[in-house]
Amino acid sequence: MLSLCGASLVSAHFAAPAIGKTAVIQFGLTPVFLTSNLELLGRLQSYLQRSTGCAIRLVNRRTYQEVTALLTSGQIDGAWICGYPFVSHRSELQLLAVPSWHERPLYRALTICDVDRRTSDIMSLRGDIHAFSDPDSNSGYLVTKAELVSRGLRPDSFFAKTLFTYGHRDVIRAVAAGLAQSGSVDGYVYDVVSNLEPAMTARTRVVSASEWLGFPPIAAPRVPPNPDMTPLLKAALLTMHEAEDGRAVLEMLQLDKFVVEAPSLFDPIAVKAALVAAAG
């Protein structure tokens, strides 16, 4: 069974095939990714190696901030990040590809609570112990904070207590186990967990859902450390659905494919980020 979003990745050193090149592409994974299934990681690495003709090193960190720092400083060639850090560092990053989920490059942020609780909107969560995913997560923090700020409220005074789980699955787990009364979570992750671990999500219910927002993207440094690697990585992602080994990865991720989108896809997230920044 896959473990989702936020579990630390065991250092992935899979045997690379004889590719005839010494070039290495370093690809970062954040808590948006399905991070602790070795079969998935092995298949992803194997596919990218075959498709790019380069050795692939998968680099995982616990927080979005850590991976984004590696990306913006040019220490890695690309990473699967979140829309919030993408818009926050748009001048330093280029957009390579966006996952398509249910035929669209979009997802929603959810607020969830205990299954037996009858609530209909975020205002009914006042005074809760509330679980967030990551302070740089769009769905796991920004959307909820922006909603409160738009009402003249702040999370630290609206909720009795807040905590960061550093993984969307762990937000669901915290609410399901009663460790938190409510939580902010990625709708894609919630859907995947519902398919893989229905007993967990059955102990929760969705209070509200955001508008459709740009799915967490694959980004590269605006000035890449190895310019020849960027087009190879982009092409491998965009053609993943055309290859049998690529389709196997996508099936495990429960995604359709990767697509090309304009950075403007993330403008609604940028609006939320600006609102929160203006509130201080």
Q: Would you state the pLDDT for residue 31?
A: 64
Which of these ranges, 10-14, 34-38, 123-127, 257-261, has the smallest mean pLDDT?
10-14
Q: Is the pLDDT of residue 35 over 90?
A: no
What is the mean predicted confidence (pLDDT) over 182-202? 95
Provide the domain count of the chain: 2
pLDDT at 120: 82
Residues 176 and 141 in one domain: yes
Asked if residues 265 and 136 have their Cβ atoms less than 8 Å apart, the reply is no
What is the arithmetic mean of pLDDT over 140-168? 96
Establish if 254 belongs to a structural domain: yes
pLDDT at 37 over 50: yes
- For residue 67, what pLDDT is reported? 94
265 and 195 in one domain? no
Query: According to DSSP H, which parts of 218-279 are helical?
Result: 229-238, 244-253, 267-279
For residue 12, is it within any domain?
no
- Residue-wise pLDDT for 48-78, tens only, equals 999 999 999 999 888 999 999 999 999 999 9
165 is a domain residue: yes
Do both 169 and 147 map to the same domain? yes
In a domain, 3, yes or no: no
Average pLDDT, the chain: 90
Q: In terms of domains, do 125 and 198 share one?
A: yes
pLDDT at 90 over 70: yes
pLDDT in tens, 115-131: 999 888 999 999 999 99
- Position 2 in a domain: no
Given 189, 210, 231, the domain boundary residue is 210
User: pLDDT category, 4, cuts 50, 70, 90?
Assistant: very low
Domain with residue 116: its CATH number is 3.40.190.10
Same domain? For 148 and 160 the reply is: yes
The answer to whether 27 and 61 are in contact (CB under 8 A) is: no
pLDDT, position 11: 32
Residues 228 and 264 in one domain: yes
- With respect to residue 219, please indicate whether it lies within any of the assigned structural domains: yes
pLDDT of residue 259: 98
7 in a structural domain: no
Is 14 within a domain?
Answer: no
CA 171 to the chain's CA centroid: 14
- In terms of domains, do 200 and 116 share one? yes
Query: Which residue range forms the structural domain that includes residue 127?
Result: 109-210
| Token reading at 59 | 């680099």
Bridge partners of residue 219, in order along the sequence: 79, 95
Contact present, 213 and 109 (Cβ < 8 Å):
yes
> 128 and 204 share a domain?
yes
Regarding whether 204 and 164 lie in a shared domain, the answer is yes
pLDDT of residue 32: 57
